[in-house]
Amino acid sequence: MIDCLDDQVFHLHNAQVSYVLAVMPNGQLGQLYYGATLGNLTDADVTYLQTQASKSAGTVKYSTKTGNFNLSDRAQAYPVYGSSDFRQGAIDISCDQTPWYLDFQVTDYTVRDTKPRDLAHPATYAVGNQEAQTLIVTLTDTAHQVQLTENFTIFNGYGAIARQNTVTNLGPQAITVQNMMSAALELPDDDFQMVSLSGAWLKERHVTYHNLTQGTVTVESLKGASSHQQNPFVALMRSQDLDYGEVYASNLIYSGNFVSRVEVNEWHKTRLMTGLNPNYFGWQLAANESFTTPEAVLYYSNAGVNGLMATTHGLAQHHIADRQWAQRPRPIVLNNWEATYFNFDEDKLLALAQQGQQLGVECFVVDDGWFGHRDDDRTSLGDWRVDRRKFPNGMGAFAQKIHDLGLQMGLWFEPEMVSPDAPIYQDHPDWVVRHPYERTAIGRGQYVLDFANPAVVDAIYAQMKPVIAAAKLDYMKWDMNRNITEAYSPYLVAHGRPQTEFFHRYMLGVYHLYDLILSDFPDLLIEGCAGGGGRYDLGMLFYSPQMWPSDDSDAVERLSILTGSALAYPLSAFSNHVSAVPNDQVGRNTPLTMRHSVADFGPLGYELDITQLPAEELAAMQANIAFYKQHRTLLTTGQFRQLKTIDPQENEVAWSVSDATQKELFVGFYRKLAQPNTGVLNYVRLPQVDPHKQYQIDDSEIVSGAVLQHLGLREPYQFNGANADTAQLRGDFQAHLFHLVAVD
């Protein structure tokens, strides 16, 4: 997968993608190509790719020794600002407040066939020596005595390159890393529309389009988390076609402050960079110390949106999330939150669990309110002792009753937070994130613990571990409901570290707690959550194979959230709960059929008081759970495709999930609002079916794959005011789940 040609050109390639790097005339590492696979390059190909004999006008020559060579019009693997390139660079280092204009020249390289999974640092991994190869290029700035190591990993079967960089101070003076991106990608034109995933609490990761022109488009977070408002994923699309056209994309395997930036220069060349947000960041390196960036992934597809999703989903499931969860069935969850909120005791929870067990659920999750004296959201965080008023015999005894029902046991934690009345707050006021001034912001009645301090992480885990062990916990919901303000750490002061290191050290502390938990309890399924979807990213996915996508469980809103999320994250990560109506977040009434038809795509759960439901709704839930169990593998890990649009404003949504052989698939069809006098006969095309097979639709009609490909699957007849005798769907919030099976 990696060819090293004359120690000057490096070709990373597989059947999907080629990435060609080369040593430039100034000794730095350049990028010659990224895109559809080029196969095996000939010497003539390499010469052609390297040839650039002319110089762009209005540019500065790099040096007196390199002729017309300049960096302004060269595609660079890791661009540096200020040495004939005036665009934003990938790395900035200073010494004694003097900026250095770095000159990293290639000095060595090696190729590694293994990439082990390391719980201490979220990143891609490979099993064995056949799944991936990594090119490691060492570059040195001799004058400044700084070394840069760039890692490029290519995976067998995926159009993706993972990138990570390490800088080492080889000199005697301390230096400061002020900016260090994880990846940069140069593209030869700007004929793209940029797509980001934007929104807010209750409406996360909506598809947002940005037109590119000369200048810069940036999405970022400074909230100490990847945030509800933006997501590290961005894509550059040649068109909005679902199945055709080139798409380039990037994502960051990281959960804290980030920036993803697309810059177009005066010659319509595009530069995409992603990494740690340089605002409020600075990392001090003493002699022989190193700093390593989070890893980023660059994606390529020439098969449109659905081709991109096949790559992002496959890579996430097999090379980022713990692979054991790609094989193990995700439990059907009953969560008590919207059923009881804080108003519960052991008897009420057992009644819910018993009813759930009768319906067929497999895991009962006790949400917020089981610890301290937590009767509302203004108390007891950081005091992870079981509330004996609610659980007189402790959590272990209650969990045993849940296990005796044949159910798995789940529990909610918010380990990064503390309430002012918690003992840990009283005993260690210096363990709270806040600046040393009188006024300090407070959110949701709680503060953030200083996870940049390893002692804080250890103290929290010392509280959590006995609870996890006593309950023999199967499932954990990890929440995080408050972003960081007035970022300041007394620990950093005590250890002589600058406060600009805080945000990244905090995130490393969060990852360390995940490492501690999963090292001791490797079979524990952790569901990531951050006030809903405030930290829905690949860094979390590394530890949490499924994540709570939003606190908004409304089925209509989930259509837009899943549509955006699925561009970057696999269906298996999208945790779904069927909740009560009117919905608690938007007040909308949607039919149970629609709520089921949306929630069945991905890990299924329920979050409502099932002890108060009428018999017909309980019967419908029981039937859906039985159906879901029968088809769970396909609905959770099958190949997901969009069939109509990714525009969240459109009234109709259709998507599908199919097995690898295209013998079985489900198609979800959704219409948000009814419209008057619509056309009776409408179809949605299914490009993924086998044209040589025959498919039975909902145990009824048999239609050829060729007809389904080119004409399409007939949509349900909508009531149009005159077809009451034949209409299949009527009113707002319509849904139908088609089941197609290939037949002989």
In tens, the pLDDT along 560-597 reads 999 999 999 999 999 999 999 999 999 999 999 999 99
**Residue 7 region, left (φ>0) first, then alpha (ψ -120 to 50), else beta?**
left
For the segment 477-496, the average pLDDT, to the nearest whole number, is 98
Residue 481 pLDDT exceeds 90: yes
Is residue 89 within 8 Å of 72, Cβ to Cβ?
no
Residue 431: per-residue pLDDT: 98
Residue 128 pLDDT exceeds 90: no
Residue 327: per-residue pLDDT: 85
Residue 126 pLDDT exceeds 90: yes
In tens, the pLDDT along 608-665 reads 999 999 999 999 999 999 999 999 999 999 999 999 999 999 999 999 999 999 999 9
In tens, the pLDDT along 23-51 reads 999 999 999 999 999 999 999 999 999 99
Active-site residue list: 479, 551
Q: What whole-number distance in Å separates Cα of residue 259 and Cα of residue 109?
A: 29
In tens, the pLDDT along 299-350 reads 999 999 999 999 999 999 999 999 999 989 999 999 999 999 999 999 999 9
Could you tell me which residues come within 8 angstroms of residue 534 by beta carbon, excluding any fewer than 6 positions away? 201, 204, 223, 225, 226, 227, 228, 480, 483
Confidence at 443, pLDDT banded by 50, 70, 90: very high
Residue 153 pLDDT exceeds 90: yes
Confidence at 489, pLDDT banded by 50, 70, 90: very high
Provide the β-strand partners of residue 533.
Answer: 530
Residue 129: per-residue pLDDT: 83
H helix or E strand, kind and range, residue 720: none
Residue 18 pLDDT exceeds 90: yes
Q: Is the dihedral of CA 518, 309, 504, 82 positive or negative?
A: positive
Mean pLDDT for the chain overall: 97
For the segment 602-609, the average pLDDT, to the nearest whole number, is 98
Q: What whole-number distance in Å separates Cα of residue 381 and Cα of residue 377?
A: 9
| pTM (predicted TM-score) | 0.98
pLDDT above 70 coverage of the chain, percent? 100
In tens, the pLDDT along 55-76 reads 999 999 999 999 999 999 999 9
Residue 182: per-residue pLDDT: 99
